[in-house]
Structure 1
Amino acid sequence: MEDFNWLQLLNPEFYILLEFGGIKIGLFVVLFIIFAETGLLAGFFLPGDSLLFLAGIYSETLMSQVSLGSDFLNVTVFALLVSLMGILGNMAGYWVGAKSGNYLFNKEDSFFFKKKYLYQSKAFFEKYGNRAIVFARFLPIVRTFAPVIAGIVSMDKKKFMFYNILGSALWSFSMIFAGHYFYAFFLDKFGIDLKHYIEYIVIGIVAVTTLPVLWKILKKRVHIE
Structure 2
Amino acid sequence: MSPVLELRDITKVYGSGPDRVHALTGVSLTVHAGEMVAVMGPSGSGKSTLLTIAGSLERPTSGEVLVEGVPLAGMARADQARMRRRHVGYVFQDYNLLPGLTATENIALPLELDGVRAGRAAKAARQALAQVGLADQAGRYPDQLSGGQRQRVAIARALVGERRLLLADEPSGALDSRTGETVIRLLRSACREGAAAVLATHDAQLAAWADRVLFVRDGVAIDQTTPPSGPESLLAES
Structure with the larger helix share: 1
Structure with the larger strand share: 2
- Asked whether the two chains share a fold, i.e. TM above 0.5, the reply is no
